[in-house]
Structure 1
Amino acid sequence: MRILAFSDLHLDSAARDAILAAAEGADLVIGAGDFAAQHRGLAAFVAPFAAIAGKAVFVAGNNETVDALRAATPVPVLHGEVTELAGLRLAGLGAAVPPLPPLPWHSFDLTEAEAARLLDRIDAADILVCHSPPKGVCDRHARLGPIGSTAVLAAARRLAPRWLLCGHVHDDWGAQGRIGATGVRNLGPGVTWIEL
């Protein structure tokens, strides 16, 4: 099983096109959020992903909402939900968790309590896809320090998925870690391959 995973494209069409080209060799494609830039440009940017909708799954980032991403693409968008694809049970959660410091634009954020309520609905997962990383793993921001989510960390410990795939914290793109038996990767906008 070859999984292609990415996050945080932020309207980078060259990165998107590289992912779509690589997707031909993937059994499953996972997008961990932030397709848009400050809620702009989403529909036109994600339209080409329709070509791989049958083998892809996304979560929203904090630069687009769940509803906006669902309206813009036929790719399934998970938010406190589970789906089966390519023989795997995939669960997901979008948004920035916890909320970011105030920004000059409206970030799609969840409190830890809101995220925990959504994640608690998930009873099992082979792969957990969250835009935000778990607290203390792949979450180091250069200025703010570790900004990951305690709710995501608790879900990873409870569910023990094979992988927790995330993005959001640009300063830690490419970072890897572990939570017990669960591998954690902060993906970033490049082509990342995971073999299962």
Structure 2
Amino acid sequence: MKILAFSDLHRDKDAAWSLRDAARAADVVIGAGDFGTRGEGLADTFDILRDITVPVLVVAGNHDNLAEMQAANRGWPHLHVLHGSGVAIGDTAFFGLGYEIPATNEASWNQRLSEAEAEELLAACPDKAVLVTHSPPYGVADLQRNGRHEGSRAIRAAIERHQPQLVLCGHIHHAWGTKGAIGHSEVHNLGPAAHWFEI
């Protein structure tokens, strides 16, 4: 299975067009959140990406309106919005969780979960799934510009427990393109460029 994955488009239409074109070579497309900016502009990229004809699995970023994303399902049959939920594509299980974890920004538009809330939602993740989160796990692909790790301890614990075959995330822009491992699970912080994975 050939996976095209990205995160953090933040209304970048040129990046969305490029990803839409690249998706012709993919079996599954994964978007790890932040399609909009400050709760606005989801349609700027969704309207371009909806032309993709393979399964598109997305999680909500902290800048996204989850209800608006879920409403897009009605006109986009290939879209799967994952938030404490999963889907099987062929023999592969995918599980997703969106939002900022842990909560650091109290702005009204910022979509966030506490570590306890995230832990509860991640309990349903199957072993050996492909895990898609907006926030990275603590200590891997989560380094801020100031040198601090700002990933989620609940996501890290879920990875240690369920050992996903692949973990895809975004959120921390300074960490785009970085990767690491937790046990046997590879973790990749994506960013808005096309990233390819074979499973």
Q: Please, what TM-score do these two structures have when normalized by structure 1?
A: 0.94
- Aligned partners of 2:29 and 2:56 also within 8 Å: yes
Which moved further from structure 2: 116-125 or 93-102?
116-125
In the aligned structure 2, how far is the partner of 1:8 from the partner of 1:152?
19
Residue 142 of structure 1 aligns with an amino acid whose one-letter code is R
Gaps spanning 5+ residues in structure 2: where?
none
What secondary structure sits across from 2:5 in the alignment? strand
Runs of 4+ in 1 over 3 A off after TM superposition: none
Please tell me whether residue 92 in structure 1 is matched to residue 115 in structure 2: no
Which moved further from structure 2: 135-144 or 24-33?
135-144
- Aligned partners of 1:91 and 1:125 also within 8 Å: no
Residue 56 of structure 1 aligns with an amino acid whose one-letter code is V
Which moved further from structure 2: 75-84 or 42-51?
42-51
Provide the residue aligned with 2:158 in structure 1. 155
- Aligned partners of 1:35 and 1:61 also within 8 Å: yes
- 1:25-174 equivalent positions in 2, closer than 5 A: 25-52=25-52, 54-73=54-73, 74=76, 75-103=79-107, 105-143=108-146, 145-174=148-177
In the aligned structure 2, how far is the partner of 1:178 from the partner of 1:147?
16
Question: % of aligned pairs identical?
Answer: 41
Residue 194 of structure 1 aligns with an amino acid whose one-letter code is F
Residue 82 of structure 1 and its aligned partner are, at CA, apart by: 1.2
Residue 122 of structure 1 and its aligned partner are, at CA, apart by: 2.3
Aligned-residue Cα RMSD (Å) equals 1.4
Q: Deviations over 1:27-67 (max 9, x none)?
A: 11100000001111112430222222542110000001321
> How many residues end up aligned between the 2 structures?
195
Provide the residue aligned with 1:21 in structure 2. 21
Residue 29 of structure 1 aligns with an amino acid whose one-letter code is V
Q: Deviations over 1:84-113 (max 9, x none)?
A: 11431000000000012344x520000000
